[in-house]
Structure 1
Amino acid sequence: MSLEVRHQIAMDENNSSVKQLDIAMLPWLAFGHLIPFLELGKLMAAKGHKISFISTPRNVDRLPQIPQTLTPYINFIKINLPKVENLPENAESTKDVPFDDVKYLKIACDGLQKPVSDFLKTTSPDWIISDFCTYWLGQIAVKHGVRIGYFSVFPAVTLGFMGSPEVLMYGDDEQQKMLEDFIKRPRWVSFESDVRPSLFQLTRMTSLTYNVKDDNEKHVGDMYRLGATIQGSDVVLVRSSLGFEPDWLNLLNQLYKKPVIPVGLLPAITTTNNDNDTNWREAREWLDKREKGSVVYIGFGTETKPSQYELTQLALGLELSDLPFYWVLIDQRGSSDDEVIKLPHGFEDRTRERGVVCTSWAPQFKILSHEAVGGLLIHSGLSSVVEGLQLGKPLVLFPMLIDQGLIASYLVEKKIACMIYREEVDGSFEPESVADSLSLVMVKQEGKMYREKAKEMMSLFSDREIQDKCLDELIHFLIN
């Protein structure tokens, strides 16, 4: 943040007539997006700004409760998702549908153009903050005289690797001609970096397409959506901080040719609400009986489901490690998901004395905060990374999709985390790789560097002053 901006912010804070912003927020229909949007909205509401949080009825009802002090400032706007062929009944988020059916959720999301347009016409907020999926929102916002910002829940390293809006929308004929080209360092990245996805992550992402529409299903590809969203925005907001990834944030300024503002890492806040919740009470009672720092927490977010092969190998590796564990396992994505994954026969019986497998919702941050938890095995989703590192817990990474692979390779490059070895082309791996990585990071002397690095990262990932400065700069920009 420049001295001029800090000075102006200080003047604003001393001026009681500072403008109260009216901000609408329209996140993508995935809880890995809904929650960070809500967290950012809560921070802005705490500064006295009005937030209209727009989503579908079922998603709004499933969001965490907000503090009573913020209820006058946050208004939840429920809009119905249109019915779309092949989209299951009551499916309103990515956790409700199998991975390959998420494209129908995006088609349904495109049907929200009229209700969103009607909302902007009748309420005229100062800004609407959107997500990657609503590529059509820019034209609607301009029509109603509303400024638009794109909020990326992905860090700058993910966006920077993917390139400019033009490359996202139409591809890069200069470099990216074959699948293997997509794992090379892009030509627009001028600094040294080993960040890249793996080939198996690329092939797994069936929606990675630069075509505007798929001939068969009128499906707009994710990359086109993202590029058009950035192109149509007045500002790009990134869940990041200069202390975390300065080179990649600077690159975004060059690629986008518009303001790019890091909004902070949005560290989780410990609450005492629902301390008597059954899920938490049972988890706490189990954790209380374990030695300090002995338990590995395993979780792949609210929507990432391993394949049956991945689940089997992970379970066998975990069993081989002989470590106590608390595993929150998503074995099915919605009732229409007919590929329910199952743990190896006898796994739970053989590990019952030292482990828990939870297939329902679990209070992740509260569990991670317990002193018995000594490390995490996660998919590299940014929310889980932030929660782990703000608590000083070392990370073992098992990325499955492209964005997770980019984040994971950046953390490995910075020697912040360890990644389980997998074959480049097909993603195969052995249980021994899982056991070795867990033992290294959790127990062995050779892995002490990961435990020390996690403690070192606490100051960056949990610093409320850094978060407040990022928020002040954001609000200053939105007002001025």
Structure 2
Amino acid sequence: MTNSTEESKLEIVMFPWLAFGYLIPYMNLSNELAKRGHKISFLLPQNAEIRLQKLNLYPNLIKFHKLTIPHVDGLPYGAETTADVHRSLESLLATAMDELYDEIKSFLQNLKPHFIFFDFAYWIPDLAREIGGIKTLFYTVFCPAVACISFIRSPDKAIFMASTAAELVKPPPGYPSTTVVLHECEAKLLPFLFHEYGKGVTFYERLKKGLTRCNAIAMKSCREIEGNFCDYIATQFEKPVLYTGPVISVPKKEPLEEHGLSNWLEKFEPGFN
């Protein structure tokens, strides 16, 4: 019979967007959770495993589950992350991620984890409810302030697209800051929210559906720094916002690997300006 400490440990699944800027923060959070004894199943593309293996501090608790990313017409063969494609093709990569639905469903049905952390896979909350017994956490690597001023607002598409940059910089009702606001040059970029990002779904819908349907939202921040923004997000979505803290990779203790940049830097005298 297992003891109470063992029984209290959680089975957690990580399913981040197919980009190293997301995979690595999810890996860092996995290390923090594994440090506390929880088991992690990390879903990732096959070509990402080698890079993330170096960051896995608890290989006995963090297990990688390699996904076979489906080929979508228009994507280069073998493309698995945003590092493999031009930015203009990211929508096709999102389509490929959505086509993992059946594989993810089978995996979750067999594992039956307590929690799954996700972001761009907006269909995860509905899938988890269908399977039953799985709580979903939308873990965003965006800082809460950025999320508030760009992704959290709930615009009508027609009104939004007809708005001028000067109108878009006006904070939404209840927004908690008068200093952290959009500038007009930034507001001009916001229409990308309504660009297709995956088959039949816009970038904005992909985020909004995940945030609306999840059980809780997790933020890579802490209350002392961005508590007012997280409170605003919690109010907008009427669900708890959890703080992961600014989780980062543990600095390496071994010597740096030999490569061209270090050799070039060694040509300069100490104190060179």
TM-score range with shorter-chain normalisation? 0.7 to 0.9
Q: Which residue of structure 1 lines up, in the alignment, with residue 148 of structure 2?
A: 160
Distance 1:281 1:238 in 2: 34
Deviation at 1:268, TM superposition (A): 3.5
Aligned ranges 1:128-147 → 2 under 5 Å: 128-131=116-119, 133-145=120-132, 146-147=134-135
Offset of residue 60 of structure 1: 2.0
**Is the CA contact (8 Å cut-off) linking 2:41 and 2:65 kept in structure 1?**
yes
SS in structure 1 of the partner of residue 225 of structure 2: coil
Mapped partners of 2:158, 2:36: distance in 1? 42
Distance 1:117 1:126, change over 3 A: same
**Which deviations, in whole Å up to 9, do the C-alpha atoms of 1:312-349 show, x marking residues without a partner?**
xxxxxxxxxxxx5xxxxxxxxxxxxxxxxxxxxxxxxx
Query: Where in structure 2 are the equivalents of 1:365-380 lying within 5 Å?
Result: none
Q: Quote the Cα distance in structure 2 between the aligned partners of 1:179 and 1:153.
A: 29
Q: Deviations over 1:143-198 (max 9, x none)?
A: 11111100010011012123648x16x5595x774141322222331542342154
Cα pair 2:56 2:62 within 8 Å, conserved: no
Give the 3 Å change call, closer, same or farther, for CA 62–276 of structure 1 in structure 2: closer
Counterpart for residue 278 of structure 1: 258
Q: Structure 1 residues 91, 258: CA separation in 2 closer, same or farther (over 3 Å shift)?
A: same
Residue number in structure 2 paired with 1:188: 174
Deviation of 1:223 after TM superposition, in Å, equals 0.8
Distance 2:256 2:129 in 1: 48
Structure 1 pair 111–99 and aligned structure 2 pair: CA distance change class (3 A): same
- Deviating beyond 3 angstroms after TM superposition, the runs of 4 or more aligned structure 1 residues are 15-18, 162-165, 170-173, 201-207
Count of residues paired in the alignment: 268
Counterpart check, 1:209 vs 2:194: yes
Structure 2: unaligned runs, 5 residues or longer: none
Pair 1:190–1:79, CA change in 2 (3 A): closer
Unaligned 5+ runs, structure 1 = 1-14, 295-323, 325-480
Q: Is the 8 A contact 2:39 2:61 kept in 1?
A: yes
Mapped partners of 1:158, 1:46: distance in 2: 29
Find the residue that maps to 1:278 and give its secondary structure: coil
Residues 1:249 and 2:230 aligned together? yes
Match of 1:73 among 36, 48, 61: 61
User: Cα deviation per residue 1:273-320 (whole Å; 9 max; x = unaligned)?
Assistant: 4x15113882595287331xx6xxxxxxxxxxxxxxxxxxxxxxxxxx
CA separation of 1:287/1:77 partners in 2, compared to 1, >3 Å: closer, same or farther? farther
Q: Does 1:267 align with 2:245?
A: no
- Whose RCO is larger (CA < 8 A, sep 6+)? 2
- Of 199, 203, 210, 1:229 maps to 210
Q: Is the contact made by 2:13 and 2:41 (CA closer than 8 Å) also made in structure 1?
A: yes
Using the alignment, how far apart are the partners of 1:128 and 1:286 within structure 2?
45
Shift of 1:263: 0.7
Q: Is the 8 A contact 1:103 1:219 kept in 2?
A: no
Instruction: State the alpha-carbon separation in 2 of the partners of residues 48 and 172 from structure 1.
Output: 49
Aligned residue identity for 1:222: F
Does the CA-based 8 Å contact 2:145-2:180 persist in structure 1?
no
Q: Which has the larger radius of gyration?
A: 1
Contact residue 163 and residue 255 of structure 1 kept, 8 A? no
TM norm structure 1? 0.51
Identity of aligned residues (%): 24
CA positional deviation for 1:204: 5.0
Residues in 2 aligned to 1:134 and 1:290: alpha-carbon distance in whole angstroms: 48
Partners of 2:78 and 2:41 lie apart in 1 by 23
Alpha carbons of 1:196 and 1:245: their partners in 2 closer, same or farther (altered >3 Å)? same
Deviations 1:369-390 (A, max 9, x none): xxxxxxxxxxxxxxxxxxxxxx
Partner amino acid for 1:209? F
Instruction: State the Cα deviation string for residues 67-120 of structure 1 (Å, max 9, x = none).
Output: 56x111001001111110111112111111111111111111111111000100
